[in-house]
Amino acid sequence: MSPLESLRVALAALTDNKLRSVLTLLGMVIGVGAVISVMSIGRGSSAAITEQIESIGSNLIFVRAAASFQGGVRGAQGSAATLTLDDAQALADSVLTPDVLAVAPEISTFSQARAGRENVNTRIIGVTPEYEQVRNFQVAEGRFITAQDVAARRLVAVVGSSVSETLFGGLSPVGQTVTINQRPFRIVGLLEEMGGTGLAIQDDVIVAPITTVQARLVRQRTAAGRDRVQTITVQVTDNDRLEQAKFQVSEVLRERHQIIDQDDFTLTSQEDIIQARTDVNNVLTIFLGSIAAISLLVGGIGIMNIMLVSVTERTHEIGIRKAVGAKRRDILYQFLAEATLLSFGGGAIGVGGGWGVSRLLERLTISGQQVETLVQADIAFLALGVSVAIGLFFGIYPAIRAARLDPIEALRR
């Protein structure tokens, strides 16, 4: 019997018991659909994480102070007062090679900002002009912080779109005054709306000259009495130059801080952050996908059960086929074809159903965050391939059992 003839006979046998075949298909449909949905959510969230982190800039290295020790108690990462504005300037002077584009120090605090009767608790960031380029800030109206603002410690500010909306409604904030820590800041610019969550919350900020923030809002000094900065962001020309740039930054800071053994700073690249968050997300996705895949095994067991029932019901038919010359492999191929058709059909329907569920999930919002999904071809082919493999695995025993039936005993039944 040719393979095409085996498929034709298998299809006819399945259509003879439509309800039973549909119920058997349902297990594979649910299993494949669940795997597609879970994996699409995992891929979508990974893509969203990458997009959010990359929205703060590209090819970045974050230099932060190390953890402080006080009374034998280790503080949080970045709590040591070791980085200064002079360190940032030294990096800009020493490391601005083909590897590095710009260096931007920053210091931040949370404070209440008031304008008229409105107020908002927001993040105040002290920056230099390079911050606009390094952190991908775009000014929608007015201007950004200038070198003259930093040198003169001017009371000027650039506000995010969320802060502007809260304090001034639909009016232009440029030229208005906002009071921070009982000091009036003149607004000189409005940032474009960025959106996002986590590291990409750039709408709910007020940006001011770093020297002004150090002098007026955050009086934090190093052991040498210098005004500290919390983070120095270094923008590298290309992702391939990150490691070389890291080495150069480390060498400059070690020389400036006269470090012999343990560094008093930490270096983290943007790729490190993306990789760490993606790894956590992938582990969770695989875990949930494994749970969803259990339903595929249940569907495979259902196929085996139905095929065993089919062998029992069609024992007389098998005897007749063998009596007229059918070989063992013909019977084996026929029942394997039935199992394959069931698993492949269920898998194909499940892929379509999983894709549809993924599209529906994109309309959901959980805790203010829209669900992101991403259905890719490799996920669909993998789920479909696994469903067919499971069908073959669980269908081979009933097929072997049917092929081994003695024709005389089969006809006697």
d(CA 259, CA 257): 5
d(CA 113, CA 249): 36
Is the Cα dihedral 243, 244, 245, 247 positive or negative?
positive
d(CA 101, CA 92): 9
CB contact set of 18 (below 8 Å; sequence gap of 6+):
none
Query: How many CA atoms, within 13 angstroms, populate the side-chain half-sphere of residue 187?
Result: 29
Count the neighbouring beta carbons within 10 Å of the beta carbon of residue 305. Answer: 13
Q: Which of 315, 305, 313, 335 is nearest to 400 (CA)?
A: 335
pLDDT score at 68: 52
Q: Which of 131, 129, 133, 166 is nearest to 146 (CA)?
A: 129
CB contact set of 291 (below 8 Å; sequence gap of 6+):
none
pLDDT by 10s per residue, the chain, length 413: 566 766 776 777 777 777 888 888 888 888 888 888 888 888 787 777 777 766 666 688 888 887 654 444 444 454 467 788 888 888 888 766 677 888 999 998 999 999 988 999 999 999 999 999 888 888 999 999 999 999 999 999 999 999 999 999 889 999 999 999 889 999 999 999 876 544 446 788 999 999 999 888 887 766 666 778 888 998 888 877 888 888 888 888 888 888 777 777 888 887 777 777 777 777 877 787 777 778 788 888 888 888 888 887 777 777 877 777 778 887 888 888 888 888 888 889 988 888 888 888 877 776 666 777 888 888 888 888 888 888 888 888 888 888 877 777 767 66
What percent helix, strand, coil does the chain show, rounded to 5? 55, 20, 25
The SS3 assignment for 5 reads: helix
pLDDT score at 200: 44
d(CA 114, CA 124): 13
Q: What is the largest CA-CA distance in the chain?
A: 105
The SS3 assignment for 123 reads: strand
pLDDT score at 73: 43
CB contact set of 234 (below 8 Å; sequence gap of 6+):
60, 61, 62, 63, 91, 95, 100, 102, 103, 104, 134, 245, 249
Q: Note the pLDDT tens digit of each residue in 143-174.
A: 999 999 999 999 999 999 999 999 998 899 99
Q: Note the pLDDT tens digit of each residue in 102-142.
A: 899 999 899 999 998 899 999 999 999 999 988 888 899 99
Two tokens, residue 273: 């952050």
| Pair type for strands 205-209 and 118-127 | parallel
pLDDT score at 180: 93
224 CB burial (10 A radius; 0-12, 13-18, 19+):
exposed
Q: Of how many residues is the chain composed?
A: 413
d(CA 311, CA 158): 77
pLDDT score at 67: 62
Count the neighbouring beta carbons within 10 Å of the beta carbon of residue 74. Answer: 11
Q: Are 184 and 177 in contact (CB under 8 A)?
A: yes
- Predicted TM-score (pTM) of this structure: 0.65
